[in-house]
Chain A
Amino acid sequence: MIPELFGDFLAYQIGLYLIYGIAAQGIGFLWGKTGVLPLGQALFFGIAAYLTAITLRAGNGLVLDLFLAAAVLIAISVFAFALAALIFRGRNESGPYFSLITLALVMIGEQIAGTATDLTGGFNGMSGYPSLGNIDLFDGYYYVIVAATVVVSLLLFVLNRLPANLVARAVADNEPRLQLLGFPTHVVKGAAFALSAAIAALAGGLFASHQGIVTPTSMGFGLSAELVILTAVGGRIHVLGPLIGAVIVGWASAELRDSFPYWELCMAVAFILVVLKAPGGIAELLETAYRHIWPERVGRQPGYIAAPPTKSAGLTGPLRFEDVHLKIGVVRILNRVSFETPAKGIVSVIGPNGAGKTSTLNTVTGNLRVTSGKIVLGEHAIDSRPPYMALHSGIGRKLQVPSVFFSMSVSENLAIAMMANRARLVDLFRPSTCQWRSRSLSGMLAHSSVPLHEGIVQPVEHLPQGHRQFLEFAMTIAAEPQVLLLDEPCAGLSSDETALMTNLVREYQADTGGLVIVIEHDMSIVEAISDKVIVMHLGQVLAFDTFEKVRSNPDVQAVYAGGTK
């Protein structure tokens, strides 16, 4: 109603702010969910703007123009996906390098746009083409922009309620854990970057038609930085945050520019204040105020539905190390490690601190690459597989320091774990996927003494360490791996909790008939649960036998006495 109430010119201005807001929404989605900060979104904005100008100049007619616009969005998405997936492949963090690469790309893009005169019109840019469908820029086109804003916002709101949103948030929260749950995080980040690029491109296309001119600044670092600022000020977490930021900053700039000489300083101070005092931006402040008046009602927890079977039962059989060496820099971690476990049962790994126990498990899950030698599960070599393939090979891993998704609730942590090795792509877009529950997980949670309360909505970052041990164990067995690797699952537990944890381990092994490998220092636990014991010392296997034989081994007694809590 802006054109009717406030006139065409304000509608024209608001239209421009919304276009920037749409592009910023893409940044908000990527940055707010996955933690990846793109500094070159104007590249996609500008490419789409130039291609739109070229298309509109050709006068193909509305249908062909829309068809070409869709093709451009798809092409940009594919390019962005491939770029991010390639850069992030083989890494388990997002670091600043990706942001810097996007920054470099947008600077290259701006340079090309300014110099390729035949293609882009050089510094003068491209102009003199009609608007999309010849719609009046000061009237009807405003509604086209509003419609695009609504569509993008709805899309992001819907995504927020889907399991895919949990997976995207999990990337920012704890990427190594997500990989051990079988998610190829470089693909997740690639997909999120593709969506943000497509949104930026949509905004770029709208911009070209709206402004009637496209210049290299539409593909420049300046615009990229401005979009990030709009996102930060408005709020990167809430879907509407970037839109709010774009409209407020755009409107304030326009108003202050002519009346206040230090308006840029004013905006800079406002930006610093918002970033320091309200990291969630204006949207968070508004939401807090809104919730103060209308508190959020905690809905009833939806019921659970039987989870589908795991995608593959994974590999089974003995785990065999063949002359494995591992060096990190000049430090030799593992030295000529060879052993073969039974195909099923519980094997404990003991040894002094620094013996190489955790590193041994790290080589099994691909968190460390062996320098030489071979690791074979059943008949398959697994030593060159990345961590996200471990679970597909049937290997579940609980880490030494409990590794969970700290910003999420217990039920969200468990929901992600239930998707592990089960969810197909389509399941990530079905709300009911979050209600999956497997028999093994239900069995564990049925123990009244397991300290996991799913009704609590607070993030698990404040859970005590011992409770996180149980949560991570639950997350690991939710995927029902045939080979379960547990790194000091009883560390930080009281004696009663230790007894509970050892019972859970035994029950899981008995239920699945698989192989469980446990690193443990407490000899009473080792004695109680182990079919076989591996003793490690200085990166080598010192002994591999039953508990009684290991205990009476003089070589073992010389280096490791063990003890109990």
Chain B
Amino acid sequence: MTALLEIDMLTGGYRDTNVLFNVSARVDAGSVLGVFGRNGVGKTTLARLVQGSLIANKGDIRLEGRPVGALPAHVRRERGIGYMPQTSMVFDDLTVRENLNLGRNREAPDRYFERFPRLAERLDQPAGTMSGGERKILAFARAMIEDTRLIVLDEPSEGVQPENIEHMAECLKDRAEAGAAIVLCEQNLTFLTRISSWYLGLDAGSVVLDKPAAEVSVVELRSILSL
């Protein structure tokens, strides 16, 4: 069966400096790939290579069997790849409502207001006047409602209070159950272990663990984060 996302021997980084080396992975529809590793091992680079703001120097990226590795980011978005970056994730001068209504969405944001009521309270407030954690939640909600089949998230839990991280996990599970594939780059093990169906551990730009979640213990995860 063709995976929704296939990454094949991917090597890339910033200009001539490679950060990732021969990374391969696959994510099926309805599953969550937890990408983890210490700071600097290449998680953000992998996310950006899949999303398209970086182009790989070697290797292939395929979405439902079709190569997308050479396509610019906006075309990949049209093909169904959504992305929540680590920083600079909302438009500060636009209101929360305007941020949520931008682009092509698959659903109205209302159903996320129950889990994140602060968004509903601040709909007409410029996003720039919200706290860092609230902006992160806004960006997360945006990523959830977009008309995408693959969602790549780069450290979504950073700066977010634990209750809201729990809500994020529930939302991601719902999206996966509805058929989306998720690539979650995270350091927060509680979050990661809560929803991942497969783990991809990275160190120094290379894969050091590639296993189904059921076969990996927390001790093993911690040992990779301590490499």
Contacts and interface: CB of A to CB of B under 8 A. Distances in A.
Contacts of A464: 39-40, 43-44
Nearest to A499: B226
Interface stretch (A45-53, A353-361, A382-390, A508-516): A353-361
B118 A562 contact: no
A177 interface: no
Given A358-B131, A565-B189, A353 B160 contact: yes
Contact of B162 (A328, A359, A563): A563
Contacts, number: 108
A493 B225 contact: no
Interface in B173-196: 187-190
A563 B131 contact: no
B14 interface: yes
A306 B91 CA distance: 44
A295 interface: no
B162 A521 contact: yes
B80 interface: no
Given A353-B133, A464-B40, A521 B159 contact: yes
Nearest to A351: B161
A219 to B, nearest CB: 38
Interface residues of B, number: 37
Given A331-B125, A353-B164, A563 B39 contact: no
A491 B162 contact: no
B132 A401 contact: yes
B225 to A, nearest CB: 4
Contact of B130 (A354, A400, A462, A491): A354
Nearest to B40: A464
B134 interface: yes
Given A462-B14, A464-B40, A495-B222, A354 B159 contact: no
Interface string B39-58: 11001100000000000000
A496 B160 contact: no
A413 B38 CA distance: 23
Judged by DSSP, the binding face of A is loop
Contacts of B38: 466, 494, 496-497
Interface in A487-503: 488, 491-497
Given A358-B131, A465-B44, A565 B187 contact: yes
Nearest to A353: B133
Nearest to A563: B162
A94 B48 CA distance: 30
Contacts of A329: 129
A491 B40 contact: no
B118 A496 contact: no
Contacts of A123: none
Interface residues of A, number: 39
A521 B132 contact: no
A565 B190 contact: yes
Contact of A496 (B134, B164, B188, B225): B225
Interface string B102-118: 00000000000000001
A465 B89 CA distance: 14
Interface in B108-159: 118, 122, 125, 129-134, 136-137, 155, 158-159
A561 interface: yes
Contacts of A352: 161, 163-164
A521 B161 contact: yes
Interface string B1-32: 00000000000001001000000000000000
B40 A492 contact: no
Contacts of A374: none
A71 to B, nearest CB: 47
B87 interface: yes
Contacts of A401: 87, 132
Given A352-B161, A354-B134, A493-B187, A465 B129 contact: no
B39 A492 contact: yes
A495 B44 contact: no
B131 A491 contact: no
Interface string A392-415: 000000001100000000000000
A467 B129 contact: no
A329 B122 CA distance: 13
A301 interface: no
A544 interface: no
Contact of A563 (B133, B158, B163): B163
Contacts of B118: 353-354
A29 to B, nearest CB: 28
22 contacts: A333-B129, A352-B164, A353-B134, A353-B159, A354-B118, A357-B131, A359-B131, A451-B39, A451-B40, A464-B43, A467-B40, A494-B39, A494-B187, A494-B225, A496-B225, A521-B159, A560-B161, A562-B162, A563-B162, A564-B190, A565-B187, A565-B189
Interface of A: 328-329, 331, 333, 351-359, 400-401, 451, 458, 462-467, 488, 491-497, 521, 523, 560-565
The 9 tightest CB contacts between A and B, nearest first, are A563-B162, A466-B39, A353-B133, A464-B40, A464-B39, A494-B225, A400-B132, A354-B134, A491-B158
Interface of B: 14, 17, 38-40, 43-44, 86-87, 118, 122, 125, 129-134, 136-137, 155, 158-166, 187-190, 222, 225-226
Given A451-B40, A496-B226, 17 more contacts: A352-B163, A353-B131, A353-B132, A354-B131, A401-B87, A466-B39, A467-B40, A492-B39, A493-B187, A494-B39, A495-B189, A495-B222, A521-B133, A521-B159, A560-B161, A562-B162, A564-B190
